[in-house]
Structure 1
Amino acid sequence: MRQIITTTVLGMRLASLTLVAYWSVIFTGTHIPSVRLPSFSNADKAYHFAAFTGLAILLAWALPKSRRHPRRHLLIALGIGVAYAIFDESTQLLVRGRSAEVLDFAADCGGLLTGLFVYSVLRSLIAPPLPKLHQPSCGGRVGM
């Protein structure tokens, strides 16, 4: 499974290419004038939730991993995702037929947290953990 994590296309990691393509699609989808999509009660919240779940998974996959701080990339992905959700909701005010809503932002954040959880579970199941760094020993002596 290690191969899919490090696969490259034209010298770029597959994760990065997939992230850029996906992010472009969701940006376009939220910034074109109002579009008729299949609707049900709170459908737009479900779309926001799903879009940001996917974004979180791809961000976590694309960000570099650290042996010393193995969960740092998840916090960075969350920070980037929340910043983008704020940007996304704010810039929708500039598009005719769009509006910024606190509940959309909440759905975005819920999707981010869900995506990071799903990514963590999948990674633990299909990818071997990064080897731990060896800490230098102090020879058994503590303090002097």
Structure 2
Amino acid sequence: MAYTIGEVAAQLGVAPSTLRYYEREGLLPAVERSASGRRAFSDQDLEACRVIDCLKTSGLSIRQIKAFMDMVVEGDATLPERLELFRERKEAMEREMRELQQVLDVLEFKTWYYEQAVAAGTEGAVRALPTDRIPAEHRSAQAHLAGESGKERLGAVS
């Protein structure tokens, strides 16, 4: 099936100019053109666009994505390098997700903390809570904020 640049852009949630840029940069070298010069994206082109979007979102630069796309064109001889690239990106994304989860945990803890302070009318009521009175799901975030030693007060940095 053939897709227009507008259809592909809509499916990917990007501007048509982004797809033109990808083509200019050599990321999509095989996009067919109609007799009138309009781009006609194939299912394979659409899949390539999705992979490009994934790699871009994972933190690769356009130059790195171009190198990957060049490997695809080279064929099976580059399979080990492509596999390694995806393993590295996967590990990087897993690391980033762990870091983001820790940030989310702190935000959830601080939300709970301030909800309790607002309800009590004072932050002192929450700051004085012993660790066993902090909900279990928030204890690791509280410990993270208190540092490895855990010696700092609960509300040391409000």
Superposed pair shares fold, TM > 0.5: no
TM-score of the aligned structures, taking structure 1 as reference length: 0.28
Between the two structures, name the one with larger relative contact order (CA 8 Å, sep ≥ 6).
1
The structure whose Rg is larger is 2
